[in-house]
Chain A
């Protein structure tokens, strides 16, 4: 009888070979205690967190935590229902209001995760004879949104304006088109040329969706993301975002100014056929989003952290994903998975957690040590982090 698990044998073999060398499993870390947005206890050891996407450090904000506790008391632990049946409480409406205010947009729709927001909006908006034009390095949730729908999928080379332009030109003028872009691409931390791409897309009659998961709260004057920073947010039809990064909890959303947007609540299957977020989660999210509106000082400090880490790692001799810091993600490029895993473990032993990222999540088969900074990392911590990278780099032979 065929074993349906056989298809995973190559991956099982690769993992076994890696772990046989005695390395700690990089995909099985447990945080025994979390002290703050920047420090946890892992394997009994105090560990600086540099791979959490907790960009604005809202997870332990006293107002945010208090709002969650109150909602638990007032509304219970969960809704046990779909948004369109018994799963919309006052808190769900309140967090959608907070999003409308944050983005200054007419409509906001909250999903149970950011993954489901992309899955739902992309699969629902682009029908059978429509085209989805997307960057080849798009996040898995975007590809899965394409796979869940049945539109025609046209990829273009990463951040290549001319490649997008050519494809838009060759598509039938009368066909429906959705261009899907990301503000910050999370693997290398690079930013999209949205100004040019959004203008080209609109000129070709396409609607534009921008995933701003990794820029919310941090990039742009009001923290609305790369589209705001590049002055094209009014031309974007859909912004997708998440509560699991700067907002500091879990959940996803789409905001839009389209007059017919609300119909999505009835036709979008990943919105309808799942349980809504627990009351405590939407309460923490709403409180956090409102506080993020007024966080210019934290944004400035996060940029300082990002610049300092980028310059410091470069000076040490590491190869980085971008020539200049473009976001709060700094990706350190490793020569191969074995070296990457060894370096990851050496950093953990030093007391630093980063993400080890590998194909298929990464572009061009790269192995990355991905660092994401937090506005609450202190200057001293960034100094400590650089010291740990230097020590781990020498211990593993990454640095001479």
Chain B
């Protein structure tokens, strides 16, 4: 698996506990509209992602991230920048 595939797979796993409606996750799944997450769920999920990848996702970045694919892209950039 490529780095991106690995990040995607792990991200999907971390979404699962908050996927109360059992939405089928794809790159195009939108956090607000499709998963219907509120701000507290976002905080918990982002904290989990940050711990997993040892990165910071600022609120400024979060505002630009709508879909699962965009989050994976951001994580790939952040982890690459650290390496």
Q: Which residues of A contact B (CB under 8 A)?
A: 131, 136, 146, 152-157, 163, 166-167, 170-171, 363-365
**In the complex, what residues of A have CB within 8 A of residue B2's CB?**
none
Residue B60, interface by CB 8 Å: yes
The A-B contact count (CB < 8 A) is 30
Comparing B8-16, B27-35, B51-59, the segment that makes contact with chain A is B51-59
Q: List 8 A-B contacts (CB under 8 A).
A: A152-B60, A153-B59, A154-B58, A155-B59, A157-B43, A167-B56, A170-B54, A170-B56
Chain B interface, DSSP helix/strand/loop, else mixed? helix
Is the pair A136, B43 in contact by a Cβ cutoff of 8 Å? Answer: yes
Given contacts A163-B47, A166-B50, contact A154 B38 (CB under 8 A): no
* Residues of B close to A167: CB separation below 8 A: 50, 56
Residues of B within 8 A of A146 (CB): 59
User: Within 8 Å CB of A156, what residues of B?
Assistant: 47
Q: CB within 8 Å of A: which residues of B?
A: 38, 40, 43, 47, 50-51, 54-56, 58-60
Min C-beta distance of B16 to chain A, whole Å: 21
B38 touches A365 (CB 8 A): yes
Please determine whether B50 and A170 come into contact, CB atoms closer than 8 angstroms.
Answer: yes
Determine which of A152, A157, A363, A364 lies in contact with B47 in the assembled complex, contact meaning CB atoms within 8 Å: A157
User: Which residues of chain A are within 8 angstroms of B55 by Cβ–Cβ distance?
Assistant: 170
A155 to B59, alpha carbons, bound, how many Å? 7
Tell me whether A154 and B54 are in contact (CB under 8 A). no
For B51, list chain A residues within 8 Å (CB). Answer: 166
Are the C-beta atoms of B60 and A364 separated by less than 8 Å?
Answer: no
A154 touches B59 (CB 8 A): yes
Residues of A within 8 A of B38 (CB): 365
Complex Cα gap A364–B38 (Å): 9
Set of chain A residues within 8 Å of B59, measured between Cβ atoms = 146, 153-155
A153-B58 contact given A166-B50, A170-B50, A365-B38, CB 8 Å threshold: yes
Further 6 A-B residue pairs, CB within 8 A, beyond A152-B58, A153-B59:
A153-B58, A166-B50, A166-B51, A167-B50, A170-B54, A364-B40
Q: What distance in Å separates the Cβ of B70 from its nearest Cβ neighbour in chain A? A: 18
A154 and B51 alpha carbons, distance in the complex (Å): 14
B43 near A171: Cβ-Cβ < 8 Å: no
Q: Which residue of A lies closest to B57 (CB)?
A: A154
Contacts of A131 in B (CB 8 A): 58
Of chain A, the residue at the smallest CB distance from B56 is: A170
